């Protein structure tokens, strides 16, 4: 009887150890280099239709914040300050580094965050080029400068738009099977509209069925009445 009890205890302990070893954990280290955060609460909040869930929180102390815990699946959440979104974060197993600066916010260290923020960095660079050239065009128009020069700038703006759309479609084509692609799609489709833009239609037309079946994408498709050509 004693031997059987010992065997049962050993089996239970082994099972517990196996479960612990399979557990997945996240760790977040953050640095804040902008004003207005010291002593304030930062939270990881998941926004879903009809439901908002706070998953973790901490306070900023001497420009740093830390969070850690167990995670059962990859989730797209927002780092929030006093409940207001600051920047998106993928909660997934691993060590995440967050840097909040006056001119830039970056999240890195895990696959989905690295994918999403590398995309974001490239898109912001293209957007900045477009904005600079667009402002130049406005200034030239106000000064009534040579229309031919203004038209050349307009041509350059159209080239930048094409470059941006091609970059986006290339990223999606390479990463349709990654959660980061859904995050990019959410970002691109966030503006209110009753019509699917040519860019979003191009993305959906090329997407595999697994991507189209993702919860947000599927909801968008049905809401907008999309049908693959």
State the CATH number of the domain containing residue 56: 2.60.40.10
**Is residue 23 very low, low, confident or very high in pLDDT (cuts 50, 70, 90)?**
low
β-pairing, 94-100 vs 25-32, is parallel
Residue where one domain finishes, among candidates 62, 79, 109: 109
Q: Are residues 209 and 129 in the same domain?
A: yes
Contacts of residue 65, Cβ cutoff 8 Å, sequence gap at least 6: 28, 30, 32, 42, 58, 59
**Average pLDDT for residues 140-154, to the nearest whole number?**
83
pLDDT at position 8: 41
Domain containing residue 73: 24-109
Q: Are residues 139 and 207 in the same domain?
A: yes
Contacts of residue 81, Cβ cutoff 8 Å, sequence gap at least 6: 37, 40, 41, 42
**Is residue 75 very low, low, confident or very high in pLDDT (cuts 50, 70, 90)?**
very high
């Amino acid at each position: 009887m004693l031997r059987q009890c010992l065997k049962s205890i050993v089996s239970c302990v082994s099972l517990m150890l196996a479960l612990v070893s399979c557990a997945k954990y996240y760790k977040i280290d953050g640095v804040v280099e902008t004003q207005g955060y010291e002593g304030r609460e930062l939270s990881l909040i998941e926004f879903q239709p009809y439901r908002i869930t706070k998953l973790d929180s901490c306070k900023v102390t001497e420009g740093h914040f830390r969070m850690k815990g167990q995670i059962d699946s990859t989730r797209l959440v927002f780092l929030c300050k006093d409940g207001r979104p600051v920047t998106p974060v993928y909660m997934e197993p691993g060590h995440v580094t967050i840097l909040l600066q006056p001119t830039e916010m970056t999240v890195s260290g895990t696959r989905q965050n690295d994918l999403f923020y590398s995309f974001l960095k490239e898109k912001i660079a293209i957007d900045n080029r477009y904005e600079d050239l667009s402002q130049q065009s406005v200034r030239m128009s106000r000064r009534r400068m040579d229309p031919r020069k203004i038209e050349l700038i307009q041509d350059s703006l159209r080239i930048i738009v094409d470059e941006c759309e091609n970059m986006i479609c290339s990223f999606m084509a390479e990463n349709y099977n990654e959660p980061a692609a859904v995050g990019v799609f959410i970002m691109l489709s966030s503006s209110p509209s009753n019509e699917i833009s040519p860019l979003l239609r191009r993305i959906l037309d090329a997407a595999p069925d697994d991507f189209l079946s993702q919860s947000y994408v599927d909801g968008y498709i049905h809401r907008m009445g999309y049908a693959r050509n």
